Amino acid sequence: MTDSATALPEHTWSGLISEDPDAEVGVLGVPFDGAVSFRRGAALAPARLREMSTHLAGCAEEGQPLSLRVRDYGDVRLDPEGAAYFQAVEERAAQPLQHPLALFVGGDHSVTIPLMRAFDRAVGGPLGVLHLDAHPDLFDTYDGQRWSHACTARRALELAGLDSRHLVFVGLCSFARTEWDFLQAHPEIHYYTARQCYKQSIEGVAARVVERLQGVQSLYVTVDIDVLDGAYAPGTGYPEGVGLSTREVLELLRTVCRELPVRAMDLVEVAPPLDPADVTSFAALKMVYEAWWAFQENQGC
């Protein structure tokens, strides 16, 4: 496991890597997939995405150069005890959260639970959470665990700085009955299904998301890669066949990161062992770079 930027190749993150404590972006890897309920492999994503980033150009898709600096704090070392590991994740998350933008690379979606707790403590309220996912992750417990990857959004609602009106889902296409009932009982929580994104256009949905979250001071964006249709992201534990396209997610991220106060983003559930030709990993990296460019535009870097 890496522990600091000095242990990484200089071309990591397309050569944007820096040891400057004033770097615009801080990165932390969370290589944990001990809370999945089906196929594992997401623990290998931080290493694989870093490796692949050395081969990518440091620019947005239309050629705009990325000028921001990226300080990579390595990975949170694994601990066989889940509670101890999550505590370590929450503590280590404070390092990238010192930067204007933090990027967390999972790991399964359970890692978002301690990351959001650290975010809540670091920024205070009012904060918002934008949850891009095929699944709502609103179980109170799953397989007897409150920290399952199926409980991420339910734990978000326990954050001191989050008003439930500022939890927004985009891309949903698979609901358990208990999650559906929860959403019907809480109409203040807004969600947009994958079909709504198709029927209403992703530009229209993005505009409504921005309007909904205008009042927050800090926004956490969590991206479960299975928000993408399985044709675009086969390398994940629960690929869905009716998700968003890579283009739709990129357009949404560009709008959100350009127009809202995004302070942290995580990317989870990429499973390299399940990923033929690295299709899913390349899509994930494209999301990161487009989000970075939009943030750069927002900040005038």
Q: What is the pLDDT of residues 249-275, one digit of tens each?
A: 999 999 999 999 999 999 999 999 999
Whole-number pLDDT of residue 33: 79
3-state secondary structure of 149: coil
Return contacts of 80-85, CB within 8 angstroms, 24+ apart.
82/34, 82/35, 82/147, 85/32, 85/34
Residue 277's contacts (CB-CB under 8 Å, 6 or more residues apart) are: none
CATH of the domain at 248: 3.40.800.10
Q: What is the mean pLDDT of residues 151-163?
A: 96
Q: Determine contact, residues 85/78, Cβ cutoff 8 Å.
A: yes
Rounded to the nearest 10 degrees, how much is the dihedral formed by the CA atoms of 205, 158, 134, 29?
Answer: 100
Say if residues 227 and 124 touch (Cβ distance below 8 Å).
Answer: no
CB 104 within 8 A of CB 28: yes
- The dihedrals phi and psi of 293, each to the nearest 5 degrees, come to -65, -45
List the domain range (segments joined by +) for residue 241: 5-299
Strand ranges in 31-145 using DSSP code E only, listed in sequence order? 70-75, 101-106, 127-132
Q: In the predicted model, is pLDDT for residue 201 greater than 60?
A: yes
**pLDDT of res. 36:** 66
Integer angstrom CA distances of residue 31 from 87, 212, 245, 272: 14, 33, 26, 12
Rounded alpha-carbon distances, angstroms, from residue 19 to 50, 99, 225: 16, 12, 29
Radius of gyration, CA atoms only, the chain: 17
DSSP tag of 239: -
Q: 143 pLDDT band (50/70/90 cuts)?
A: confident
- Asked if pLDDT for residue 5 goes beyond 70, the answer is no
- Report, as an integer, the average pLDDT of 224-243: 93
Angle between helices 202-212 and 246-259 (to 10 degrees): 30
Q: What is the DSSP letter of 166?
A: E
What span, in angstroms and rounded, lies between the C-alpha atoms of 42 and 59?
26
Is the pLDDT assigned to residue 178 strictly greater than 50?
A: yes
**Amino acid 124: pLDDT:** 82
| Closest alpha carbon to 193 in 257, 248, 262, 128 | 248
The mean pLDDT of the chain is: 93
Nearest to 266 by CA among 143, 137, 98, 93: 93
What's the structural domain count of the chain? 1
Tokens of 149: 């990857």
HSE, CB side, 13 Å, CA atoms: give it for residue 123: 31
**Is pLDDT above 60 for 35?**
no
